[in-house]
Amino acid sequence: MACYVLQLPPAATWQMLRDKFRECGDVKYAEMRGKDIGLVRFGSDWDAERAVRILSRSVTSDSCLWM
């Protein structure tokens, strides 16, 4: 399962996404899909759902992450 992440800070990279979302589970793939949009693919649906519960609307670098 994959999650789109919106409203990323301008300096965000795929490495930042991978590292941040590893807190929630097994990240298989992360990429940037524009200046403020990222895609994170997880090893299981459970990990993806956990990431949404934990990180949705969290604040990082003056931006609010929406998933």
pLDDT over 60 at 6, yes or no? yes
pTM, rounded to two decimals: 0.82
What CATH number does the domain containing 18 carry? Answer: 3.30.70.330
Q: Which two tokens stand for residue 1?
A: 């399962």
* Residue 50 neighbours by CB under 8 Å, 6+ apart: 24, 25
pLDDT over 70 at 64, yes or no? no
| Structural domain count, the chain | 1
DSSP 15: H
Residues 30-45 have a mean pLDDT of: 93
Tell me the residue range of the domain where 42 lies: 2-64
